[in-house]
């Protein structure tokens, strides 16, 4: 429900400030935390498939896109390393397998002003580029529920991928520092 009323809250906040990104970031990250709990992997070690980039009000577009590309590129390389076979294997039709399973599609959300901008990256292709999927303006009248649903869908897609690996994930034994 938090996502469905986020648009209303962003529109109200936008009347007073040009920086709605902290509100959007906080609410979306809460939904991501919920998805980790709901998916049963909150206390597991996993490589994320979802990246959230929160733009600063004065940050230029090139710097925002570079942050997204760098973060998604880093996660893509981590997924390839994790899934890499010790030795490439030749399968039925003479194809060479490099990974124990196909590295995932990664999802990125850029939060800037009142917008959420979605991108993807195919982590199985080392030279792949991020691709813009869509953008959603939370200030647009009549779209609050649809925008919230779009965020929910991308979070659930990321959750479902990680859930598919649940049996292979190790427990996260690291203790968090209560002072942080």
Residues 6+ apart with CB under 8 A from 178: none
Is 10 contained in some domain? yes
Q: Tell me the percentage of the chain whose pLDDT exceeds 70.
A: 96
Is 172 contained in some domain? no
pLDDT at residue number 180: 45
Is 178 contained in some domain? no
- The residue that leads in pLDDT, 89 or 178, is 89
Q: Which residues constitute the domain of residue 72?
A: 6-164
Task: Tell me whether strands 50-54 and 105-112 are parallel, antiparallel or unpaired.
Answer: parallel
| pLDDT for 115 beyond 80 | yes
pLDDT category at 173 given cuts 50, 70, 90 is confident
Could you tell me the two tokens for 89? 């294997």
Cα 19 to Cα 41: distance, rounded to the nearest angstrom: 32
DSSP-assigned beta bridge partners for residue 12: none
- Total domain count for the chain? 1
Is 135 contained in some domain? yes
State residue 23 phi and psi, 5-degree precision. Answer: -65, -50
Residue pLDDT, tens place only, 7-45 = 899 999 988 988 899 999 999 999 999 999 999 999 999
Q: What pTM value is reported for the model?
A: 0.89
| pLDDT for 165 beyond 60 | yes
Helix, strand or coil, per DSSP, at residue 136: strand
Is 174 contained in some domain? no
| pLDDT for 179 beyond 60 | no
Q: What is the mean pLDDT of the chain?
A: 92
Helix, strand or coil, per DSSP, at residue 107: strand
| pLDDT for 177 beyond 70 | no
Residue pLDDT, tens place only, 88-109 = 888 888 888 999 999 999 999 9
Give how far Cα 123 sits from Cα of 50, 53, 59, 62, 103, Å: 12, 18, 27, 22, 6
Is 171 contained in some domain? no
Is 94 contained in some domain? yes
Cα 55 to Cα 40: distance, rounded to the nearest angstrom: 30
């Amino acid at each position: 429900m938090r996502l469905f009323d986020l648009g209303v809250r962003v529109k109200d906040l936008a009347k007073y400030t040009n920086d709605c990104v902290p509100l959007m970031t906080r609410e979306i990250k809460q939904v991501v935390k919920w998805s980790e709990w709901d998916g049963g992997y909150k206390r597991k070690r996993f490589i994320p498939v979802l990246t959230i980039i929160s733009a600063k009000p004065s940050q230029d577009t090139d710097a925002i896109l570079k942050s997204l590309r760098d973060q998604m590129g880093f996660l893509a390389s981590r997924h390839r390393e994790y899934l890499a076979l010790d030795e490439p294997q030749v399968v039925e039709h003479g194809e060479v397998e490099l990974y124990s399973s196909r590295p995932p599609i990664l999802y990125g959300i850029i939060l800037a002003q009142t917008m959420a901008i979605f991108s993807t990256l195919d982590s199985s292709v080392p030279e792949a580029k991020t691709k813009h999927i869509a953008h959603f303006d939370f200030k647009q009248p009549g779209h609050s529920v649809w925008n919230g649903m779009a965020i929910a869908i991308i979070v659930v897609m990321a959750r479902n991928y990680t859930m598919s690996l649940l049996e292979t994930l190790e427990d996260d034994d690291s203790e968090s520092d209560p002072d942080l």
